[in-house]
Each structure stands twice: as structure tokens, then as C-alpha cells.
Amino acid sequence: MMTNCLFQPFEHSKLSLKNRIVMPPMTRGFSPDGVPGEDVVAYYRRRAEGGVGLIISEGTTIDHPAASENANYPRFHGAEALAGWKKVIDAVHAAGGKMVPQIWHQGAARRPNMGAHPEVPSAAPSGLIAPGKKKLPELSIEEIKALIEAFAKAAHDAQTLGFDGVEVHGAHGYLVDNFLWEGTNQREDEYGGSIEKRARFAVEIVREIRRRCGESFPIIFRFSQWKQQDYDARLVHTPEELARLVKPLADAGVDIFHCSNRRFWEPEFPGSPLNLAGWTKKLTGKPCISVGSVGLNEEFISTFRGGEAQPASLDELIERMERDEFDLIAVGRALIANPDWVKQVQAGKFAELKPYDKAILDELY
């Protein structure tokens, strides 16, 4: 198995990486009162020491009372939490790594009466927590503007702390995705309706981050077709519709798209082998990160339900990267089970890779 393409440097005008391997965001809930401690520092430092090109943090919540259902999810606001993240980024840099925080609001996916502010209702663009399930008030324009400001403030704080960029979480049925997905956005104003109008909230977040942080600060945008409310959901059904979604985001200032698949090898549209990242790169010309069950024989939903995923071949990944379908590949559960996954793969030590087993997840962190 020739893996040389994984270890080529990635050169972008705003971000240089030593290889093409990314650690994606994986929610943990190990930060009491939202403050990352020394165990979080050690967790990310270990992956940087293991050779990962770019680390994207677990989801970190913006400054909004309904952003999180779990007080142990890390915050990216407040002096104490930001001081904790400063220790993280300093440790990652000292280990030779690069890192961006993923900034996040759970939106309609937040379970009610939970988190640091259980009394506050969850937030959704038109009150829908899933298609046909209206259980929340519709967000006002004033609330939308405040949320945009909170995302931009978190990005600017990341820049001030010395992070190498920022990722906006626009995937998986959370707040930004609630606006993008017609199933949870039935607004009749400028933030709902057509694909372009549903994308307006995300576009305005990116524009405000760009305004606050300047032209040189890298912005990554993560999006997905599937949602935790509906694994078969689709934001778009054709390449033409995808272009109407991603081109405005690229024009607003997205530098890199992070395209979330459950299985990276699955074609996105009939008649082409390209996955979501491949199509997004083709349509925008922007670099793209692909992800989805890399190096494992079971996709993540199955393993989260108690199954085990064994190491699997990287042959198809290598073929796609050699065809330049996408630029970077995110390795999730395999990197949890094997903090030195990058070095092991580069050395050809595939037989030494450990399986991923949720039963021992906490120990592996």
C-alpha cells in the first residue's frame, strides 16, 4: 500500500500543513463547566506529537445560553475557558502541530432543559426540531443577528489566542445546518425559502468572521447532507443545487470546505464517483477535506451503538487522493484508538493498528 500522497505537504496561501491528515472534531464532554483542563491539553498534544497535520477541536460552544445541552462541552467564551484553550494551542504548537477550534451551536438538536442554562429554550430558525415537529419559537431577526455576532466573536478570540484558523460547524442538524436544511427551515423572510436564502445565515457568519479577522485568517466550513435527526436527509439533490449552496459561501470567505460523509467512498450524485468533497472542490475550486470511516470497516453510527470497527484497507482513499478528488482527509475514530496512527501508517505498521471499540473509548482518550 503506497501511502505517499497522505504525507505530501499541503500549501495554501493562508495555511501550510506538513501532511494531508486531519483530526476531525469529535465531541467529548470532558471539560467541567465548559473549561478545558490539563487532560484536554494532553489529549490534543498527544495527537500533535503523533504527526497529525491539522487538528480540529471538538465542538466548542459560542456565547449563547442555548448553545449546549451539556455543561461539560467546552466553551469558547469567557476568560477561564479561553485561558484553557490558550494552554491547548500552545501545547499543540510546541509539539509541532497546527490546530483550529470548531465553533458550534447545537440549535434544534439541543435537548430541552439541559446544559448550563436549562431554563432557556433551544434555538431553531422556524421552531422545527425536525421536519414537521414544531416545538420551539421562531428566531427573531434580532436573535439571528446576535448569533452571527457570537460566532464572529468566537472566531476573533481564536485568532487572538494564536489558533491557526477556525472551523464553523454547519453540519449534522445543529443550528447553522438548521438554517441550511429545508426540513428545519420554513421561514418566509430573507433567511428561508430558496437554497440561497437558507444559506444566508451561514454566509453572514462567514462574512462577519472575515470582517473581524481579516483576509489572512483561514476559515473552514463544515457541512453535511445527513443529519442526526435524519440520516437520509439531503440539503441538495443535484450538482446544480450544491453549487447554489457552496458558491455563496466560497464568495463570502470560506477557504476550505469540510464535507462530512458517513462513508468517504460513497458517490454523492448518480453518474459520478465523486463524493461530497469531490463535488464541492469541482464546483468551487476551493480545497476540501473529506471524512467518513477512514481506515475502519464499520461506519461510526454502528460503533456508537456498541459495535467494534477493525482496521481496514486505505487503498480506495489513496486512489481518490492520487486523482486529486479532495485535498485533505480527516481520520476520526482510528486516531482515537491509535494516537500515533499517522506515524504507524507512514511506517507501514498496519498490523499494529488497534480496532476502535466504544466500550474502551474513555480509556483511549
Q: Which residues are catalytic?
A: 174
Alpha-carbon distances of 94 from 10, 36, 43, 46, 48, rounded to whole Å: 20, 18, 14, 11, 9
| 8 A C-beta contact, residue 148 and residue 208 | yes
Q: How far apart are the C-alpha atoms of 109 and 1, rounded to whole Å?
A: 40
User: Pairing mode, if any, of strands 133-134 and 166-172?
Assistant: unpaired
Sign of CA dihedral 269, 273, 276, 280: negative
Closest CA to 70 of 130, 113, 13, 127: 113
For every residue of 154-197, DSSP letters joined together read HHHHHHHHT-S-EEEEEEETSHHHHHH-TTT----STTSSSHHH
